[in-house]
Structure 1
Amino acid sequence: MHPADATNAMLNCDESGDAPAWSDQQIAEAFATTTRSIENWRKQAAQRGPLSLLERKQRDTPPTALLLDGEKEAQLTKIVCSTPPDGRSRWTLQMLADKLVAMEVVGSISPNTVGRVQKNELKPWLKSMWCIPPEQDSAFVAAMEQVLTVYQRPYDALFSVVNMDEQPIQFVSHSQIPLPVRPGDTAKVDYEYVREGMCNAFMFVEPLGRWAAGPLACSAREQDEDRIGLGEVREMVGRSSSFCGCQANYACV
């Protein structure tokens, strides 16, 4: 039951002045609860004050720590996307649990926990969903581990770890002038449009420093240029950090 329901229930048992003065049975029927719950709410309001009914119940025990944090989930992903043992077409939950223990990622873990972490999102048998050639798998894993190591660095205001994300944006215009909305009628817009070029928008975030900047747009490129130069990244990060009064240093991985 929502905490507000308990508070409203107590208001209905008020017997002062023109208050409702409902009986416990009437309140229980109106709020779909039991008379024992009403007695407990009344006791809590008397001992800890009426506002305590709006507070969440304090945990008797501390929350259980996650068995697999971000780094360990990355290890699990790496195993799932690797070649299964001989004679197997795919990894089973039990095999994944045993592999995590064998690699000393965790001391122990159940197959059910592995299944909850995966959430049925990883499907390594769908080859079209994974575009890393087998001969480059080790290089990719090494680069991924290097990036994860950078993410674990402690905060240093003079040596920032900045995350960058890129979003291509297509500019379009109307091929026909839209008709504005009128009383009793909606606006009319033609489904055809005119392409007006492309640009890339970049967002920069420093999670530990709690600042973000963007989006910053760079000029359109030819179709065969699908990478941005490191110098341009440095320039944009410098502009972003100057907006926030930060000093920008760079760690490129």
Structure 2
Amino acid sequence: MTIAMNNSHLKQLQQLIVEIESLFPLDYSNRVNRLFWKLQEQLKYFEKLPQDIVNRLQIIWGYRGYSMESHFAKQKNYQSFDFYPKYKKLMRFDTLFLRKVMGKKKYSKVIFVGSGALPLSLKLLRLNIQKVGYDISKEALNLAKKAIPKDRFGRNIIYKEGNFFDLNLNEKRPIIIYIAGLIRGKEVGLKRFVKQLPKGSLMVVRTVANDSRGFLYEKIEKQSLYRIGELKEFIPIKSSGVTNGMIVIKI
């Protein structure tokens, strides 16, 4: 069902956005949680969103992400994140996918970006990947260090704080960049970052459907990616249950 086919859904969506905007600054209350779940349900009716709606969603989700991060950082409890129980299934799917990809061609490095990749990195270190890196916020970085065991695998993880678009890679051989975090509104930085990647590299973006951030991955993130002219090919990979699949960008 598209926007043109049913304007009543668009009206309901706009009303929900207005209600959420009226609650700024957002907190992590049951009321706010319910509104975001309703918002996610409404977005299922749309194949594409008007740009003004996309802009407003980016703003309210920015506030939403900050409220979640602040809430759990204060508790020092990484496992309280609402998507944590899905990590084991995500790890299995992601591991099988990346093992298949890396079996075809030797990549010198895999860099994992975003808090969604934390458990995955630990799992893949056991596959003898040469190097794993992080580039995430200070709050998420602190939570990551608490969440990942300090065993011989955990000690090999390289933690980096800051915007991964600002990384100076200096890589000569193809690498894989695995993004498990929000990229909306960062097209300019992503374009600049892509230019650093050696030819033959892959950028992998997971699209998550069954968590409270799913609507952004499904309705905003892919729209952002498709506006980047330097990227050559998109390969949608569908999975069952936990994720909606992945977008693989060949550089």
Shorter-chain TM range is under 0.3
TM-score of the pair, normalised by structure 2: 0.20
TM-score computed with the length of structure 1 as normaliser = 0.20
Whose helix proportion is higher, 1 or 2? Answer: 2
